[in-house]
Amino acid sequence: MPRSPEEGAGPGRLRRVGRGVVTRLGRAAVRHAGLLTLVGLGVALRVLATLAYVPAFSFADSFSYLEVARTGDAEVHRTWGYSGFLALVDGFLGFRYLVVVQHVLGVVAAVLVYALLQHRGVRRWVSCLAVAPLLLDGYVVMLEHYVMADSLYVLLLAIAVVLVLWHERPPWWAAGAAGAVLALGLLTRTVGLAVIGVVGLYLLVRLVRRTVGWTAVAATAVGMAAVVLPYVVWFHGHTGVYALSDYTGHFLYGRVAPFADCEKVDVPAGLRGLCPDGPEEERPNPDFFVWHPDSPANSGRYTDEDLREFSELVLRGQAMEYLGGTAGRTADYFLPGRTAGAHDSCAAYWWFPASHTHEAAGPLDCPAQLSRQGFELEPVEPVLRSAPADVLARYQDWVHTPDFLLGGLVVVGLSGLVPHRRRPRWRDNLDAVFCVVAGVALVAVPSATAVYDHRYGLPLLVVLPVAAALASRSWSRDRGAEAPAAAEQPPPVRPAVGSLT
């Protein structure tokens, strides 16, 4: 007798559905075996780090992040985004799990970038190469282990890039979400303002070419405003200033003091005390002039407005020295042979400390320090386990992204601008150029306002591989083979390009 509809919808049907899901997952695992392998290795590295270094690493900024997370007050030195993240983690987990969350964020960022490239039709092996640095670079894993905003910003940047580049014509909701995420990135690290400017220029170009509508542009602006404006009002309630932070003069002073020559600049008598002493080559780096108690900026005699006025006088009077120094520092992120200079941040902060920590730090004598304070500033007991720590220290020596490779990615990302008899897809090249410009802006801003620091180059591992991967599509004779544009000949068994399941 034939089965009734009720019988067909019983346990047998559920088993068939379950087998179908397992089959599809198995096929997806085979197709994306490269990504799964990289993720597995990346997770293993991060597990090793959580075993080797308990509970986390701390930097000079870490205390203020934790203090603001505890009090909920505005911080004049920096924006509140990462402190808000710390408060959120504190509400659900303990300090011991902070680095676990941050390591998860790093892996998620890599998977999002891979999904974007697959959706855009990039070959799987190229997509795997593009996300390998985010998953395997020793410096990336190290920075994820710090009580610092970098890992959160990398995830927000990856989300923003995916939202901006995913759609051929972005719908209003995606554009609005992109604007909100970009604004969250700005509140996490103020360098995010540079990316917002580049996104605005990118949307303007697409608007002129009529590949994006006014609705998407307006939605992006509304998404940003919905996040930034309440923050500015809140910051004013705490400080009396409508701004994101109120330390601009100090940061500018720190940037100009190492080269300021008051013999070349007409400095008012009331600001002459800000003129640094000694020859330029013997002066400390910008961090000293911003933070150290012996810096003229922290003598109590000058306001932030005074520091800004002095800095602007130096910038106008020694513009070529400033611009040349900024260009040189920016180029250092992409050129081989970079060695730490007297005015740079100490490189050893971002090295995994081995059991022989001070020997690893060498003459720089600035090894990474394990945290001794957690949430609510309660004391925590730091632990360094020698065996896994030594493995990670040796791993980082060999597995990291060299500067010249970043420079190569810039060249590849811009290659679509070179005229060719077989014209490549215009949008791929525009998007590649957008990612390159965003990457350069991400390191040009700290080069213009602070020191050269290896950690400032971490976001480059999000945007530059995407730029090179998109530009490389135009090189292939069968570039449409894996592209969504090939939908006119859909494969009979494969799912839509970009699906991870």
Distant-in-sequence, close-in-space partners of 354: CB < 8 Å, separation ≥ 6: 360, 386, 389, 390, 393, 394
Task: Respond yes or no on whether the N-terminal peptide bond of residue 55 is cis (omega within 30° of 0).
Answer: yes
| 0.75 surpassed by pTM | yes
Q: Quote the number of domains for the chain.
A: 2
- Position 360 scores a pLDDT of 42
- Position 20 scores a pLDDT of 62
81 part of a folded domain:
no
Arithmetic mean of pLDDT over the chain? 83
- Position 478 scores a pLDDT of 42
Is residue 199 located within the same domain as residue 233?
Answer: yes
Q: Is the dihedral of CA 88, 93, 98, 104 positive or negative?
A: negative
pLDDT digits (tens, 9 = 90+) for 294-344: 888 888 888 888 888 888 888 888 888 888 888 888 888 898 876 556 667
293 part of a folded domain:
yes
Least reliable range by pLDDT among 1-10, 50-59, 491-500: 491-500
Domain limit, last residue, from 189, 223, 246: 246
Confidence of residue 481 (pLDDT cuts 50, 70, 90): very low
Confidence of residue 5 (pLDDT cuts 50, 70, 90): low
335-345 CB burial, b ≥16 within 10 A, e <16? eeebeeeebbb
pLDDT at 202 over 80: yes
Domain limit, last residue, from 246, 273, 302: 246
pLDDT at 485 over 50: no
pLDDT at 2 over 80: no
What is the domain range of residue 306? 253-326
Domain limit, last residue, from 215, 246, 277: 246
pLDDT at 165 over 50: yes
CA distance 472 to 484: 16
pLDDT digits (tens, 9 = 90+) for 249-278: 888 888 888 888 888 888 888 888 888 887
Mean pLDDT to the nearest integer, 384-403: 92
Is residue 234 located within the same domain as residue 192?
Answer: yes
Is residue 257 located within the same domain as residue 235?
Answer: no
Confidence of residue 493 (pLDDT cuts 50, 70, 90): very low
